[in-house]
Chains A and B, each alone.
Chain A
């Protein structure tokens, strides 16, 4: 088991956003995490990556308890992620965005960085090589010197994926990677994500767009912070509870 989420609960004041949630991701899998708006999907992501601590419960990654670790530590341990509200380094170029994850490379001390030692120059060369490879993989290389804020929305989303991949993650966590994309961008992104999977990365995806199911080995459905169903994409699609969660309750949109 690469990721194990164990009885995770998060309360924001009176609101229980995540409520005794359990899930796991095995190495090499692509797992979908779906559920209506406000179900707690992004909160699960933020708990796993340490953006805020859980009220109770634990998270294990690669055999290690990462429950209260800081986000930068979680990144170093091998979880790369994107954000739903498409955050990026707006005033950096595309290449600089993807090169920003220098930390996960063989450690350079502040001394190395300041004096630009030989060891450090080697690191930097490796970083930009890898960044370029990733941009190529995702079809962004022709934009490499463009400022991130000037990219079209769909490309900005892909840039987020590229940036996360550059951290050399064992697990890639994508929060609505297809959100706000047009159909051709969606096709392109699905292809890019499956390329990433083929390169050996394990993937956990939150997505409303059901086209994503074609990529998933397994799907976990969350509603009101609780897991209501889990199984193959086909099983989930036919599950009564899932159908009522999406189409029956007040959280109508999917």
Chain B
């Protein structure tokens, strides 16, 4: 299948539940096995970025390419950070509040963009993302300007292990919620729109409604990721949410595999962990990332998740054959 053959309403999701369970258990015991706080830190970061990448996918399956998506992560981060710092509200309140706030902003934008398609939508959202960053940069002492601000209310007494489990839990819950969304009729309708909005409308699917809904869901979760991450880091700056940051989110989705719900998860892990592993070669890390992207897009058009799936299917058919052979004996 071609990498851009788009989001078949596939049943591939059935592959590899076993892998999923093993992965969750593994992630669950890592803090017990690992001494290095730095490694835990990297993983917490990965968890938040998995949520962000999955939220991007939620919008992309409806045929919209939001080139300003990372800016919405910034909206969540700044909303929660500022509410906690300046209004002294507890993070338990500001984080979900910021997610809802980001969703509201997302819906307002989606309504005004609902007539834009393809390249026009992409360009519109690109400029919107830039505008959001400019506004945050211009916020004076409230936002801390270009350098952002620190001293964002911490949680869990800043314990790395507590943060690790909190972020892991949040990631699993978010993934489960988004999974249900994609594989319900709601997700199917969105995939239908992305393949042909004319045909979708002709069978009664309300294009505007579903596109706005996709952005609402995507904005909520990216706002959630941004807010959680801000409180974890304790400090924020607009440079984390610029166009380059959006490109990275797209890369996580691409490298993992666009045709696959698990693509963004696998992609985030690979693209954040591998450059970390080569950290001593810091200067080259952009080249390493570019190399990985090149490799995946050209050699594994189904992305890494696609590769795992193919392997699982291989093993299954091999087992079936063996069962047949045994039965024949």
Contacts and interface: CB of A to CB of B under 8 A. Distances in A.
A72 B195 contact: no
Interface stretch (B201-209, B218-226, B268-276, B320-328): B201-209
A70 B198 CA distance: 11
Interface string A64-82: 0000001110011000110
Nearest to B201: A71
B198 A87 contact: yes
B185 A102 contact: yes
B180 A114 contact: yes
A182 interface: no
A7 B186 CA distance: 39
A114 B188 CA distance: 11
A81 B202 contact: yes
Given A72-B204, A114-B181, A166-B203, A100 B192 contact: yes
A163 B7 CA distance: 20
B184 A100 contact: no
A104 B204 contact: yes
B189 to A, nearest CB: 8
Given A83-B198, A93-B9, 5 more contacts: A70-B201, A89-B199, A91-B195, A100-B188, A108-B185
A11 interface: no
Contacts of B9: 91-93, 96
A40 B180 CA distance: 45
Contacts of B201: 51, 70-72, 75
Interface string B175-186: 000001100111
A36 B154 CA distance: 73
Contacts of B5: 91
Interface size class of A (residues with CB under 8 A): 35 or more
A77 to B, nearest CB: 9
B186 A88 contact: no
A101 B207 CA distance: 13
Secondary structure type dominating chain A contacts: mixed
The residue in B9, B199, B200 that gathers the most chain A C-beta atoms within 10 A of its C-beta is B199
A113 B8 CA distance: 19
B188 to A, nearest CB: 7
A191 B199 CA distance: 24
B195 A92 contact: yes
Contacts of A125: none
Contacts, number: 94
B196 interface: yes
Given A92-B195, A114-B181, A114-B184, A75 B7 contact: no
B98 interface: no
A114 B186 contact: yes
Contacts of A75: 201-204
12 contacts: A72-B202, A87-B196, A89-B195, A89-B196, A91-B6, A100-B188, A101-B203, A102-B185, A103-B204, A104-B203, A108-B185, A147-B8
Contacts of B196: 87-90
7 nearest A-B pairs in the assembled complex, by CB-CB distance? A103-B204, A101-B203, A71-B201, A75-B204, A91-B8, A113-B185, A89-B195
A51 B207 CA distance: 12
Contacts of B188: 96, 100
A15 interface: no
Contacts of A92: 8-9, 191-192, 195
B56 interface: no
B202 A49 contact: yes
B213 interface: yes
A167 interface: yes
B23 to A, nearest CB: 25
A221 to B, nearest CB: 26
A124 to B, nearest CB: 7
Given A89-B195, A91-B7, A114-B181, A71 B202 contact: yes
A100 B186 CA distance: 11
A164 interface: yes
Contacts of B191: 89, 91-92
Contact of B206 (A70, A87, A89): A70
B111 to A, nearest CB: 15
Interface in A93-107: 93, 96, 100-104
B203 A163 contact: yes
Interface string B94-108: 000000000000000
B206 A72 contact: yes
A110 B184 CA distance: 10
B162 to A, nearest CB: 31
A145 to B, nearest CB: 10
Contacts of A104: 203-204
A56 interface: no
Contacts of B195: 89-92
